[in-house]
Structure 1
Amino acid sequence: MLTHDELIFCLQQKYPDLAHGVDFWVGQSMCRDTGKQTEAARIIAWHADGQPTDEEVAALVEQYRDAARLHVLGQRAREERDRRLEAADAMFYKAMDTGDASKAQQVGQYRQALREVPELPGFPADFTWPSMPDAGAALP
């Protein structure tokens, strides 16, 4: 099922100068109980000249669906990477504060590995996250 972010990506391929939330709005129906999407995303408002027809939108989605899915997966993976970097930063500063240079070095290597995640083979659909050093135990 086409998501909000995927539809925005598809539309921006044809309309790169238009901004979602300003020139057009995309929405999707969600289940109140589960929070899950119940219908494909659709244009709910268009505030620019030349609104695409349903057929034109369908053609854009057909043309860009795979790229849109990879784009959204990449966004989500980068968001997860950023969360992991924040946790690693705390581990690094704790190791530095306690004078544990060995742990700080290993956490620093982990942080660098996280920064390189977008260059990993298979990113964003099929890759392996770097292993996080154990925050509580002494690192070898």
Structure 2
Amino acid sequence: MITHDELIFCLQQKYPNLAHGVDFWVGQEMSRDSGEQLAPARIIAWHVEGQPTDEDVASLVEQYGEAATAHVLGQRAREERDRRLEQADAMFYKAMDSGDATKAQLVGKYRQALREVPDQPGFPVDFTWPDIPDALPDQSPSNGQNTETQTSDT
């Protein structure tokens, strides 16, 4: 089932000069209770001439759907990577403030590994987050994010 962001990606392949939220709007039905998507995303408003038909949209999804999924997964993974980099920055400054050059060096290597995540084979569908250095067990991610392999569920 195509998501909001995936449909926007597909539409922007054919209409690169149009902006979602200005020239067109995409929406999807969601469950109020679970937040789960109930139906495929669809165009809910088109403010320029030449609105694509349902058949046109289906053709775009067929043509660009896999690329759209990879694009969205890549965006999400980069957002998570950026969140982890912010945490690593805090770890680095904490180590530097305490004068622990060894920990600072370990965190520096961890930060570099985070920056290299998008270069891993299989990114963004199948990749592994780098482990937080063992010397920093008190610095693990605070929101319960794990360091397991990221895989697509779409």
TM range (shorter): over 0.9
| Residue number in structure 2 paired with 1:9 | 9
Per the alignment, in what secondary structure is the counterpart of residue 12 of structure 1? helix
> Please, which of 132, 138, 146 is the counterpart of residue 136 of structure 1?
138
Return 5+ residue gaps in structure 1 as ranges. Answer: none
Q: One-letter code of the match for 1:12?
A: Q
Q: Deviations over 1:86-133 (max 9, x none)?
A: 110110000000000000000011101111111111100011111112
Is this contact kept in 2: 1:25–1:44, CA < 8 A? Answer: yes
Match of 1:51 in 2: 51
Looking at structure 2, the residues matched to 111 and 28 of structure 1 have their Cα atoms a distance apart, in angstroms, of 36
Residue 76 (structure 1) aligns with: 76
Aligned residue type for 1:36:
E
Q: Which residue does 2:142 correspond to in 1? A: none
Which TM-score applies when normalising by structure 2?
0.87
* Residue deviations 1:12-60 (CA, integer Å, cap 9, x gap): 0000000000000000000000011101000000011110001000000
The 2-side partners of 1:4 and 1:38 are apart by: 12
CA RMSD, Structure 1 to Structure 2 (Å): 1.0
**1:59-99 alpha-carbon deviations (Å, 9 max, x no partner):** 00011110000000000100110110011011000000000
If the length of structure 1 is used for normalisation, what is the TM-score? 0.95
| Cross-structure match for 1:39 | 39
Determine if contact 1:91/1:135 at 8 Å carries over to the other structure: no
Q: Determine if the alignment matches structure 1 residue 62 to structure 2 residue 62.
A: yes
Secondary structure, counterpart of 1:127 in structure 2: strand
Identical amino acids, percent of aligned pairs: 77
User: 1-side partners of 2:11 and 2:73: how far apart?
Assistant: 17
2:105 — aligned with what? 105
Matched positions, count = 137
The structural deviation recorded for 1:135 is 4.3
* Residues 24, 45 of structure 1: 8 Å contact kept: yes
| Residue aligning to 1:93 | 93
Gaps of 5+ in 2: 140-154
The aligned amino acid for 1:76 is R
